[in-house]
């Protein structure tokens, strides 16, 4: 059994990966990692930074993985977090993932000097969020959901935009696959291609039809590619 640890994007619960469990190949277990402050962890305090999130998730993986081989998938903020999780595991001497999927995210070295959008007043901040996903408009029109969602996504934007990149000499040595949406207006192709600079092993870029949230728009296609990529490695092990 190979475990695929999946980390969600800003404002989302790990339940976004629930559909994956019905599509993924036999022999691969989807393990959604719930971040603090949402879903079943709604009462937990938000993270103070990405490092805190990465430290917590690295410990969860160490205790959960057992003897299984494993891989990572992170979308947007999730990609930023799993990048740091990788180095937490390196520093702790734990065996490394067999493959990492970074999805819809700038390469980490490009985040220095990021605009602090999380500090904007609510009306301006909401417009920023709508630029990523206009479908969230219905959430902002519901007072109860508004009071839950705005503080959550603001906290997620904060740890993303305050991210401190550690320019390590030891690049990622395991195979890296980077997913991106061809109609994602929030990213430039150079943002995606720059992931190559933090890797020293096999590297692959894979485009998908869709926007920043192509993983929701093309679930079956995305999971089928994940299946193919992981089965290639499983066949070698």
- Between 223 and 132, the higher pLDDT residue: 223
Residue 229 inside a domain? The answer is yes
Residue 84 inside a domain? The answer is yes
Query: 231 with 224: CB under 8 angstroms?
Result: no
Nearest to 23 by CA among 157, 156, 215: 215
Q: Which two tokens stand for residue 225?
A: 């590619």
CATH of the domain at 23: 3.40.50.1820
Residue 88 inside a domain? The answer is yes
pTM above 0.75, yes or no: yes
Residue 153 inside a domain? The answer is no
Kindly tell me the number of DSSP H helices and DSSP E strands found in the chain.
8, 6
Query: 148 with 200: CB under 8 angstroms?
Result: no
Residue 130 inside a domain? The answer is no
In angstroms, rounded to a whole number, what is the distance separating the alpha carbons of residues 25 and 2? 10
Q: Which domain holds residue 89?
A: 2-109+168-234
**What per-residue confidence (pLDDT) applies to 236?**
57
* Cα Rg of the chain (Å, integer): 17
In angstroms, rounded to a whole number, what is the distance separating the alpha carbons of residues 229 and 175? 10
**What per-residue confidence (pLDDT) applies to 113?**
60
Residue 123 inside a domain? The answer is no
Residue 182 inside a domain? The answer is yes
Nearest to 151 by CA among 19, 42, 74: 42
The label of the residue with tokens 């500090």 reads 119
- The tens digit of pLDDT for each residue in 20-52 reads 999 999 999 999 999 999 999 999 999 999 999
- The tens digit of pLDDT for each residue in 158-216 reads 999 999 999 999 999 999 999 999 999 999 999 999 999 999 999 999 999 999 999 99
**What per-residue confidence (pLDDT) applies to 33?**
98
Residue 75 inside a domain? The answer is yes
- Tell me which H or E stretch contains 181: strand 176-181
Strands, E, within the chain: which ranges?
2-7, 28-32, 69-75, 100-103, 176-181, 203-208
**What per-residue confidence (pLDDT) applies to 112?**
62
Q: How many CB atoms lie within 10 A of CB 191?
A: 17
């Amino acid at each position: 059994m190979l475990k695929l640890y999946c980390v969600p994007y800003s404002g989302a619960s790990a339940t976004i990966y629930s559909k994956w469990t019905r599509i993924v190949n036999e022999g691969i277990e989807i393990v959604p990692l719930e971040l603090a402050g949402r879903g079943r962890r709604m009462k937990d305090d938000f993270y103070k930074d990405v490092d805190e999130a990465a430290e917590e998730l690295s410990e969860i993986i160490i205790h959960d993985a057992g003897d299984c081989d494993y891989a990572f998938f992170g979308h947007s903020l999730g990609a930023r977090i799993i990048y740091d999780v990788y180095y937490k595991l390196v520093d702790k001497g734990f065996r490394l993932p067999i493959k990492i999927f970074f999805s819809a995210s700038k390469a980490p070295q490009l985040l220095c000097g990021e605009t602090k959008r999380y500090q904007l007043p609510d009306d301006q901040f909401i417009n920023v969020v709508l630029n990523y996903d206009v479908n969230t408009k219905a959430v902002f029109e519901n007072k109860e959901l508004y009071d839950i969602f705005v503080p959550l996504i603001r906290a997620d934007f904060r740890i993303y935009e305050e991210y401190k990149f550690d320019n390590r000499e030891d690049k990622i040595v395991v195979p890296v696959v980077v997913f991106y949406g061809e109609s994602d207006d929030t990213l430039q192709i150079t943002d995606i291609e720059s992931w190559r600079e933090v890797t020293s092993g096999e590297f692959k870029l894979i485009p998908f039809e869709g926007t920043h949230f192509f993983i929701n728009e093309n679930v079956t296609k995305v999971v089928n590619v994940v299946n193919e990529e992981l089965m290639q490695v499983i066949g070698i092990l």
